[in-house]
Each structure stands twice: as C-alpha cells, then as structure tokens.
A = this chain, B = another copy of it.
Amino acid sequence: VTTPARIGTASDANTHVIAIDIGGTKMAVAVVRGDGHIVVQQRIATDAARGPEQALTRLTELVRAVRAEANVAIDGCGIGSAGPLDPRAGVILSPTNLPDWDRVPLVEIVRRALMAPVGTVVRAGGTQRLGVDVVLDNDANAACLGEHRFGAGRGVNDLLYMTVSTGIGGGAIVDGRLLSGANGNAVEIGHISVAHDGWPCACGSRGCVEAFASGLSVARRARANPSPRLRALADAADAAGHGDAQITAEHVVAAVREGDPQTVALWDETMRVLGAGLASAINAFNPKRVVIGGGFAHGAGELMIGPVRTLALARAMQPLAAVCEVVPAALGADIGVLGAAAIALAHLERE
C-alpha cells in the first residue's frame, strides 16, 4: 500500500509526518503537521556510548508511542541525523559523535517499525496505513529545510544556512530546492579553508573554519591559554554543580559579555575567521539570505551574528553583498524535529 498522489502542497493542516532527530546526546521524535504545528514531541537520551542496538530499540519504541499518541493518519517520515551518512541508501555511516554506529540502515529500521500495524491509526476512508516513505538527510540539511519552510528562510528561494555548534555545517536552497550534490554532501561550509597553510583540521586539510571557530574549537583554543577571568567563570560554574571545571564555549561567551580583554581578543579573531569563511560561501552561492543557527550561535546571539554579518558582507563581492542579508535562525530548540519534518514534506511534494 503506497501513499496516494497528493494534489498541491504538503504544507497544509491535513498532512502529518513523523519527524525523527538523531544527535549524539539526545533523540527526538515528533508528529508534525504540514503547516509546522508540532502535534506531539518526545525526547530521550541517545546514550550513544552503549552502542546503536539499544538506542535503536528505544528509538523504534518511541516512534510507535508518539505515533499512537498523535492518533492521526501519517503521510511520511523524515529523519535528520548527524553525518556522515548516505541519504540515498538511508544509511548512517560513522558519525564522530555516534561511536560504533557504523553503516546503520536507519531508514530500513524505521520503515519496518512503521509498517507494524498500529490499531489506532486509521485513514479517514477506513483503510489502515501499513507503510510510508522514510527519508534521511544530515542534520544541517534538515535544519536548512526547516528554516526554509517554517523559520527565518521562509519564501527565500536562494538561501544559505550555516550552523555554528559543536561543529560547523550548512545547507543551501537553490531555486527553491535543497542542494544535495553528487552524493548528498554539499555545503560543507565548516571545511572551507580560510588559511591554506594554517591550522590543521581533523578532515586532513588546513585552515578549515570548523577547526578554529566551532564551539569545540573555540573552547579548545581558550583552554590553551585562558585568562584568569575565564578560568574563574569555569570554576564558578563547576562549584555551582553545572559541570566540571573544563572551559566550554559557553564560558567564553560569558567572558566576552563581561568584556574580559584577552577573551574578547580571542573572540574577535574567531569572528574574523567565521566572517571570512561565510564571505567565501556567499561568493560561491550568491544567497539572498543567510540564516545562522546552531547551539553555539544561539547562545552567543548578536555577539556572534553582529560581527559575522558585518565582516562577511564587507568581504563578499559588492554585487553579491548588496542583495544578501544575514539573520539568526528562528526555530530554536524545535529545529531538530521541524527540520526532519521538512525533509519528509519536501519528499512528499516531489512525489
């Protein structure tokens, strides 16, 4: 039994999709309406260290529970996951933050979970839904589609999305459609090099933006030579029971907000690198809008968006900078499931 062809758009209140967001720390499952309303959402810890099997068992149980709770006919299913992955095969390769998740056939696993009969889910016409299409993409592409459909990129057909989080990634909408590339890996914006003979990157190249300006990289750089004030902020957070005394990107942001000169200098250097990388990306994609999301960017807010906007648009070529605006993401913590929903909805519209 396949989904009957739909007339018009999937962005309506009669369409419902299952949205699954898989990260190194937590997994979320939701039922999302075509207009972006989240009917049900539940989160569980990934507990990645215990390996994929127990996590996938808990995930499929959660999918079935959320689906039953929503109690609506389901038209599709989208999964956003940390990469690298093979979106066409529906397989997660070996993400850094999901150890031992090696060639996990996630789409097949979720498809089977959805095919098992769920008594409460009945079509208006009375026919029971046995299966729906399940589509997978990486979390940055998912977030790009989510912001494009529901958030800060709505109505923009030439959109660049950059996530600045633990790592740095991105996605692009070209002529209204996601740019996938030859094997689904386009817009690795964190691996644009701004210093061809500079700092090494885990990818094997040098001078990559991610290896300097991601949350992880900023924390690492700050730890190498912390100011007394930054050191004190980390220790205070530890004393309050919020973690160990290891300096994090959040502590860096706090020190910059206080105006700690040494940390401000590190921040300014970080913004110059981010701005230069984004300028190259603007020169590559000629977007009408750049949306900046990700946990690190969200936490820093205008402290990051402001200088990155100014520096990137000053460096980008004038005719391209003239038509481009740089704005923060709009969807906050829901971006995971809204992005996954957008993957499913885009797939329904292509059918």
Contact = CB atoms under 8 A, between A and B. Distances in A.
A279 interface: yes
Nearest to A289: B182
A158 B181 contact: yes
A158 B182 contact: yes
B191 A283 contact: yes
A204 B315 contact: yes
A81 interface: no
A101 interface: no
B284 A192 contact: yes
A132 B93 CA distance: 51
Interface of A: 84, 93, 158, 174-175, 177, 179-189, 191-197, 203-207, 272-273, 276-277, 279-281, 283-288, 314-320, 323-324
25 contacts: A158-B181, A174-B174, A179-B285, A181-B285, A181-B287, A181-B320, A183-B286, A183-B319, A183-B323, A185-B317, A185-B320, A186-B285, A186-B286, A187-B284, A191-B283, A192-B284, A193-B280, A194-B194, A196-B272, A196-B277, A197-B272, A203-B317, A203-B318, A206-B315, A284-B284
B279 A205 contact: yes
A156 to B, nearest CB: 9
A294 B327 CA distance: 37
A180 B186 CA distance: 16
Given A182-B323, A319-B185, A324-B182, A283 B196 contact: no
Nearest to A190: B283
A59 to B, nearest CB: 24
B182 A286 contact: yes
B276 A193 contact: yes
A283 B318 contact: no
A192 B278 CA distance: 10
Contacts of A183: 286, 319-320, 323
A188 B284 contact: yes
Given A185-B320, A186-B284, A188-B283, 20 more contacts: A158-B182, A175-B177, A181-B320, A182-B288, A182-B323, A183-B320, A188-B317, A188-B320, A191-B280, A192-B280, A192-B284, A193-B279, A193-B315, A194-B194, A194-B196, A196-B276, A204-B317, A205-B279, A205-B315, A284-B285
